[in-house]
Amino acid sequence: MNWRKKTLTLILAVTLFATSGCGVFEQVNNTVNFATETTAYMNELTEFGQSMNEKAQQAMTDLDARTDLKQQIMNLKEQIVNYEGIQVPEYAQELYRLIIQQSETLKQGLDSALANIEQGQDIFASTGIPDIMNQVNELLSQIHTLAPQ
């Protein structure tokens, strides 16, 4: 009887240790996934911001460039929606909230840009996108300062 109690206690202890250990691994995995997905997302936004003026200039006179820019804007809107669905570790909730706020503003600006394309207007005029891209770059700089060197 005593042997069974010890065996049962040992099995219970190993089970508890294993399940709590899985939680730690899951937290580490969530943190790594969040960092990877956030970095990729922010880099996509930055790349778009760096090339948007040139692409807008081309789109004003070139139908193929206009079609490509519209597709890029649609793809970026899809990336925003996809990013909104990622798992966020507890410690990163505030950062995520800031990114989502900017992303929502960016989506509105992208909708305006699409309307401007359809109406033949200056694509990024009155969209707020240049200001949003500056904020994204500032946020990305802050994220980089948090990363260990």
If you write DSSP's letter for every residue of 36-101 in order, what string do you get?
Answer: HHHHHHHHHHHHHHHHHHHHHHHHHH-HHHHHHHHHHHHHHHHHHHHHHTS---GGGHHHHHHHHH
Torsion, CA 132, CA 138, CA 140, CA 146, rounded to 10: -150
Q: Which CATH architecture has domain 29-144?
A: Up-down Bundle (1.20)
Q: What is the pLDDT of residue 144?
A: 67
Determine if the pTM surpasses 0.95: no
Report pLDDT for 119.
Answer: 87
Q: Which residues of the chain have pLDDT under 50?
A: 5-8, 10, 12-22, 148-149
**pLDDT number for residue 97:** 92
Domain ranges of the chain: 29-144
